Structure 1
Amino acid sequence: MDLKVFSKSLLFFYRYLLTRLRSAHATQVKLYKYPYEDKLSGRVLICDVEGGLLRSSSTFPYFMLVALEGGGFLRGLLLLLLYPLVCLVSHEVGLRLMVMVAFCGLRKDGFRVGRAVLPKFFLEDVGLEGFRVFSRGGKRVCVSSMPRVMVEGFLKDYMEVEVVLGRELKDFGGYYTGLMEKGNKTWEGIASKELFGGEGEMNASVTGFGGRYLNSFHHPLFSHCKEVYLVSEAEKRRWHPLPRSAYPKPLIFHDGRIAFRPTPASTLCMFLWIPLGIPVAISRLLIFLSLPHALSIPMVAILGLHFRVTSSSSHHREPQGQLYVCNHRTLVDPIYISGALKRHVTATTYSLSRISELLSPIKTIRLTRNREVDRVTMESLLKEGDLVVCPEGTTCREPYLLRFSPLFTELSREVVPVALNVHFNMFHGTTASGFKGLDPLYFLMNPFSCYNVVFMEKVATGSVDGKECSSREVANYVQEKMGKVLGFECTALTRRDKYLMLAGNEGISYKEAKGS
C-alpha cells in the first residue's frame, strides 16, 4: 500500500476516534442497565416511544389501523401488499412509504384515529418494565419516529406526558398529502429552556431512555443527555404487558371496528376471512329472522355464535309484563335476552339505524330523549308484554358501567337486572363515529363470539334493603350490583361524555335534538 494513502487513512481513523471519545465524554451510553429511582427522581427523562416504552418496535400495526379505520379496507389491503417492500428498504424509506399509504387523502380536521382508536392498542403494547423506568422521571419528554398525530393522544391523555415530539405531516387544502416534513420541526421550534429548564444544569439533569433498535437514541434530542440507558430487543421480548390496573389513566372509551392487533399475519387472516365471513353473517341473520328461538339458538351456535345463560331465579311471564334492565354491550343485547327467555320481548333504544331496525327479529321502539314522552311510551309497552331497557343509553366496550338513568325505576315496582358480557375476536359490532347501519354485519362477521347472560334477583324500585330511597339511589344500587356480578367498575360517565371524546359531538342527531 502506498505510504501516503496509509498515512491519510491513519489520520482519518484518529480523527474519527477522537470524535467518538469526545461524544462519549458528553453522553454516557449504558447498555442493559436501568436507572435507579433516586437517580431519575426530579430529572427530565427523554424516552424513545418505540425503543423504550413499547414491547414491540414494529410500527406496522399502527399504520394498518390508520389505513383501515381512516381509509377503509382497500387502503389496508394496499398497505398489506406493500409490506414485503417495506421490509426490504431502509427504515426511513419504509416509514415514509407506510405514511404515504395510510395518510394520503385523509381529512386533517376529521382525523380522530389518533385519539379514539390507537390509544387502546398502544396501552396494550406498553411494557411493564419499561413503564417502571418511564414513570420515575420528573418531567417526561417522548420522541417518536411516527407522526405526532398518531402518538400525541395516547401519550398526553393516558401516559401523562408533558412534551410529545414526533414527525409532522404536510397537508394541502385540509387533507394530508402523505408526506412528512424534513427533520423534526416540532422540537426545533421549542427552546431548550422550555424542554429542560436551566441551561447550566442541562446535561446533569437530563437522562435518556430508549432501545438499541436502529440506534433510536441517535435522535438529536439525546445529545442533551448526560446518560442514555438502552434496552436490547432480546430483553424487550421478555417484558410483561402493563396490567390495566397500572394504567396512569383508565381507558374507558375507544372506537373503531378492528378488535385485534393488526400484525401482518393477523391482517392477512382477516382479509382471507372476509369473503367467507359475509355469507356466514347473512346465514346467521336469516336463521335469527326465520326460525323460532328453540331452533335458531343451537343452529347459530354451530356457526360460531355461542351464548351462556346463568339465572339466580325463575323468570316467568308476568300479567303486566316484566321489566328487564341490562347493561349495554352491543345492539343485539335484547335479542340474546329474548333467546335466553325463549320468548319475544320488546326493546327500547335511543339511536338505531333504520337497517338494524328492519333486520331485528324482535320489536324495537325508538325513544325521543324527552323524559316524559319516553316514560309514557315505555309504560304502555310494559302493559303489552316484557320490556328490555338499557339505562346506560349507549354501549361501552371496556369493563366499565356508565351511569344508569333512573327513569326505569318509575316504570315498575320491581325490575330484573340482567348482566351482559360479550367476547369476539375480529370486529367490534358498535361504532361512535362510523356508519351504524353496518353494526349488525360487523358483529355477525366475527368468526366466533360468546355472550354471557346473567339474570339476577329482582330488585324493588322503591327501596334498598328495606329503606326507602330516591330513584337515583335505586339506579346506583342496581348499577353497583351489576358491576359486582360482572367484575366491572362503576362510573358516572354518560353517553354525552363518550361521544364528545370519540366523535366530537354529543351523540344526538338533528331529529333527536328537534324532538327533545
Structure 2
Amino acid sequence: MTGELHSSPPNKHNIHVYVAPFGLVLAIFRLIIAVSLPYKASSPILALTGLKWRLKGVHPSNLSPKSSSDHHASKRKGQLYVGNHRTLIDAVYVSFALNKSVSVVTYGVSRISEIISPIKTVKVTRNREVDGSMMVKKLSQGESVFVCPEGTTCREPYLLRFSPLFTELSDEIVPVALNIHVSMFYATTAGGSKSLDPLYFLMNPSTCYEVELLEKVDTSGVRKGECSSIDMANHVQREIGKALGFECTTLSRKDKYMILAGNDGSAGPSK
C-alpha cells in the first residue's frame, strides 16, 4: 500500500480524511523550501516544520578524499558514500549532513521524483560496465556520489544483500548508516508506482532521520586482487548493520519484491 500508515488506529479512513488536506499543504510548503533554498537555510526551516535529523559518527570535515601519488587514486577527486536504503529521501539527508549536494544513483525512480528532487539523480541501467564507467566518471569530475547497493528500500530492521559494484569504483568509501522514525506515513511502496512516496514522506506531521557517517573503508584491496568484491561488500554491509543494530541478510531486491509484491521489482515506464 502506498504511504502505508505507521500505526493502525481504530478508524484508519477517518485519519486519512482529517490529515490529508493539512498534510498536502504542509508537503507543498516543505517541497518549496527544500528546492529553493541552500542547505544551511532549508535544513533549520524544515526542522521547524517537523522534518528533523540527527548527525552521528565521524564529522564530515574528517572525510575528505585522500591525496595520493597513485595514479588511480589521484583521479578519484569525489567521495563515494555507500549507505543502506530506507526511503527515496535518503540522499537528501546525506546532503544535509555533509552540507553539500551529492549525486544519488537511482534505479526505476519516477519522472515526478526526478523533477522535484533537490539533488542530482543519476539513473543506472543495470549494465555493470556502463554503470561502473558512469559512476567513475562522476567521481573523477569531483562529484560526491551516494549509492545504495541494496537496490531497493527496506523499512524493516534488516539489510538486503549489497551489490558489490561499488567496491570497484574507488580506493576508499564512506559507509553511511541511515534510519528514520515517522509519525504517520511510511514513504515506501512494495508494489505499484513509487511516484507518490516523496509526497507521503513530506505529509508526515513529524519525522526524524538519523545519519551516521562511519569510518572510511579502504577498498583498494579489490583492485589489487587481495580480496573479492563480494567479500568487501559483505564487510561494508556488516559495518552498517552493526552501527544500526540491523540484521544482515543475503536477500536480493528481487527476493524482497517476490515476497511482498509477487513480482521481480523491475521498473516499468517512468511516470
Distance in 2 of aligned mates of 1:502 and 1:358: 28
Say if 1:317 and 1:296 are closer, same or farther in 2 by CA, change over 3 A: farther
Q: In the alignment, is the contact (CA less than 8 A) between 2:3 and 2:187 conserved in 1?
A: no
Asked which structure has the greater CA Rg, the reply is: 1
Indicate if the aligned counterparts of 2:3 and 2:200 stay in contact, CA closer than 8 A: no
- Which residue does 1:412 correspond to in 2? 170
* Cα distance in structure 1, aligned partners of 2:192 and 2:262: 12
1:504 counterpart letter in structure 2: G
Q: In structure 2, what is the equivalent of residue 259 of structure 1?
A: 6
TM-score, normalised relative to structure 1 = 0.48
Pick closer, same or farther for the CA change 1:361–1:510 going to 2, 3 Å.
closer
Q: d(CA) in 1 for partners of 2:104 and 2:79?
A: 12
Structure (1/2) with the larger helix percentage: 1
Cα-to-partner distance string for 1:165-198 (whole Å, 9 max, x where unaligned): xxxxxxxxxxxxxxxxxxxxxxxxxxxxxxxxxx
| RMSD between aligned residues | 1.9
Question: Separation in 2 of the partners of 1:275 and 1:369?
Answer: 39
Aligned-partner SS, 1:373 = helix
Q: 2:118 aligns with which of 358, 361, 375?
A: 361
What is the CA-CA distance between 1:270 and the residue it aligns to? 3.9
How far 1:510 moved relative to its partner? Answer: 5.3
Deviations 1:291-318 (A, max 9, x none): 0000000000000000000132522366
Shift of 1:263: 1.2
* Cα displacement string for residues 221-246 of structure 1 (whole angstroms, at most 9, x for unaligned residues): xxxxxxxxxxxxxxxxxxxxxxxxxx
Partner of 1:347, secondary structure, is strand
2:95 corresponds to 1:349: no
Q: 1:327 corresponds to which residue?
A: 84
Aligned mate of 1:316, from 36, 39, 64: 64
Q: CA deviation at 1:434?
A: 2.8
Query: What CA distance in whole angstroms lies between the structure 2 residues aligned with 1:462 and 1:469?
Result: 9
Question: What letter is aligned with 1:312?
Answer: V
After superposition, give the CA deviation of every residue in 1:398-421 in whole Å (9 maximum; x if it has no partner). Answer: 000000010000000000000000
- Secondary structure, counterpart of 1:473 in structure 2: helix
Shift of 1:260: 1.2
Moved over 4 A (4+): none
Percent of aligned pairs with the same amino acid: 54
For 1:9-48, what aligned pairs fall within 5 Å after superposition?
A: none
Equivalent position amino acid for 1:330 in 2? T
Q: Secondary structure at the match of 1:352?
A: coil
Count of residues paired in the alignment:
256
* Superposition deviation, residue 323 in structure 1: 0.2
Aligned partners of 1:357 and 1:364 also within 8 Å: yes
- 2:92 corresponds to 1:307: no
Q: Deviations over 1:374-407 (max 9, x none)?
A: 1111111111210000000000000000000100
TM-score normalised per structure 2: 0.89
Aligned pair 1:283/2:41, yes or no? Answer: no
Counterpart of 1:372? 129
Q: Give 2:193's aligned residue.
A: 435
Instruction: Give distance in 1, aligned partners of 2:51 and 2:119.
Output: 18
1:190-227 Cα shifts (integer Å, max 9, x gaps): xxxxxxxxxxxxxxxxxxxxxxxxxxxxxxxxxxxxxx
Instruction: Give ranges in structure 2 of 5+ residues lacking alignment.
Output: 67-75
Indicate the residue corresponding to 1:160 in structure 2: none
5+ long unaligned stretches in structure 1: 1-68, 70-254
Q: Secondary structure at the match of 2:195?
A: helix
